[in-house]
Structure 1
Amino acid sequence: MSDLLGYKGKRVIVSGCFSGMGEATAKLLLELGAEVHGLDYKDSALPLASFHNVDLRDPASIDAAVAGIGGKVDALFNCAGLPQSFPAMDVMKVNFIGLRHLTQQVLPLMGPGGAIASIASTGGLGWSRRIPTNMEFVTTKGFDEAIAWCDANPDTVKEGYSFSKENVIVWTQYMGAHLIKQGIRINCTLPSPTQTPMMAAFEATSGKDVIAAAAEPMGRYSTPEEQAAGLVLINSDLASIVNGVVFPVDGGFMGGVATGQVDLSVMMRRSAPAQ
């Protein structure tokens, strides 16, 4: 396979590699010739260079995994996540606090040309209405301070999912302006509803009508492989100047919303997040 994307021989880390988008991303990277190191709470059967059991709710677990990988890391793919059916603080820890801690531990292993891609969600689109609050949270120092902030602001955190994804978006944009000075890029994707093992939980908590609305105008769920392609693209050599971007991988949902071609009334009535 052509190395146009520049992954051959690169050392990459994929969190959430057991299933869904993370597994699809790891598979694609292996096909592209990357040396893939996987992290997940559940064991992966993929032929990875290494696999480490990691609980993103536990910073010591993250630290041990990164130390075990060591060496230079060329790209990080933050794909692990929890739906809103889990306790709010577990969702916050996995979807943002642990994601941020993992990234901060990997950054010293990166040099110029390094790239980070994280999965956000259309469930986090409320970020633009409360940037000061998001900025206050994403600039907390360390794992424990972030948890303390959440404990002190339960009405803001709510079910955890929307707020966690808002902060992936805001933190990505904030860090983009800092990391590019080191030659490191960071971006995130906004997936349309995707047929992963978590979809049943999203449908149960948000409602199938809400999820269906978020799947317009394409009219179907995306596949994990389609989402993996977007992640791999923005972390590739081809995207060498793409930085601090919130990248819709959604079959036209964001464009449809902006031009009034997608009816948001169902989603607004339910006011529930969707990925």
Structure 2
Amino acid sequence: MSLEGKTILITGAASGIGAACAATVREQGAYVIAVDRNEPREVLFDQFIRADLSQNDSIDSVAGQIGRRLDALCNIAGLPPTRGRTPVLQVNFIGLRQLTLNLLPVLNDRASIVNLASLTGFGWADQIDQVRALLAVDSLEDVDAFCEQHGVDDARAYFLSKEALVAWTLQMRWKWRDRGIRMNSVSPGPVETPIHQDFLQTLGKRAEEDMLLVERAGRPDDVAPLVAFLCGDGSRWLRGVNIPCDGGMAANILCQSSGLL
């Protein structure tokens, strides 16, 4: 389905899944606003806004630079565990949420919000107390104290950021129903992106064992078509849905836990 005439803002558009999403939706006719700390090397966008999702002033400046209304917001930007617990939680969840709420006034009615979660967020319900605690954190400045209080280290911060993102997506299923604005998330498994090696470095043997379950790691262009679909009108009845895009890894976990194997 075409995205002709739609304006789509994509964070993290300079590389990896974000760049693939920018290229895909632009090929389908969308006007692309790329938001990233670094300007994309390839011209995969119509407008570029430099922003850092760990900085309040930077986040707050984005809405004023757009100059047009949005039909979709794709929250793709993220940091790997090796960047440290506080920046990871700031960028991957708290800053993402702040930017999303800031942009609500410039979203058109019936707009789509797509969050890039992760297979690492699969077990959010088993960590609900910690997830609830992070959902209650209001500001970027409170993240460091949260980590200290809850004993969150670098590796746990990444998992927690994605768990919270999945949970928040479900929470927001009908939040803006009066305007027809919908929110969904996509959860890739391991994907060959610039942060893939950082992720493997943190998880070590566990990640190697997980990779044996599938024929290959994912690629950005495996994920981008799904994100593009969620931006379009054909996904209008999907609300509060987290969709695995992982070569079957989430299904394997469910089969193992339920004894279906």
Letter in 2 for 1:123: T
Is contact 1:192-1:214 (8 Å) kept?
no
Letter in 1 for 2:162: K
Q: Distance in 2 between matches of 1:85 and 1:152?
A: 18
Q: 1:200 aligns with which of 186, 189, 197?
A: 197
**Alpha-carbon shift at residue 165 of structure 1 (Å):** 0.9
Q: With the length of structure 2 as denominator, give the TM-score of the two structures.
A: 0.91
Q: 1:214 aligned to 2:210?
A: yes
Q: Which residue of 2 aligns with 1:97?
A: 94
Is contact 1:83-1:201 (8 Å) kept?
yes
Q: Distance in 2 between matches of 1:184 and 1:139?
A: 23
Q: Distance in 2 between matches of 1:258 and 1:52?
A: 40
Q: Distance in 2 between matches of 1:88 and 1:151?
A: 7
Q: Which residue of 2 aligns with 1:250?
A: 246
Q: Which residue of 1 aligns with 2:225?
A: 229
Q: 1:72 aligns with which of 49, 62, 69?
A: 69
**Alpha-carbon shift at residue 20 of structure 1 (Å):** 0.2
CA gap 1:179/1:139 in 2 versus in 1, 3 angstroms: farther
Q: With the length of structure 1 as denominator, give the TM-score of the two structures.
A: 0.86
Q: 1:24 aligned to 2:20?
A: yes
Letter in 2 for 1:22: G
Q: Which runs of 5+ in 1 are unaligned?
A: 262-275
Matches within 5 A, 1:1-275: 4-5=1-2, 7-44=3-40, 45-144=42-141, 146-147=142-143, 150-151=146-147, 153-156=149-152, 159=155, 160-207=157-204, 209-215=205-211, 217-260=213-256
**Alpha-carbon shift at residue 204 of structure 1 (Å):** 1.5
CA gap 1:91/1:72 in 2 versus in 1, 3 angstroms: same
Task: Please report the RMSD computed on the Cα atoms of aligned residues, expressed in angstroms.
Answer: 2.2
Aligned length: 257
Letter in 2 for 1:31: E
CA gap 1:157/1:203 in 2 versus in 1, 3 angstroms: closer
Q: Which of structure 1's runs of 4+ aligned residues deviate more than 6 A?
A: none
CA gap 1:214/1:187 in 2 versus in 1, 3 angstroms: farther
What is the identity percentage for the equivalent residue pairs of Structure 1 and Structure 2? Answer: 30
Is contact 1:191-1:249 (8 Å) kept?
yes
Q: Distance in 2 between matches of 1:52 and 1:157?
A: 31
Q: Distance in 2 between matches of 1:30 and 1:221?
A: 25
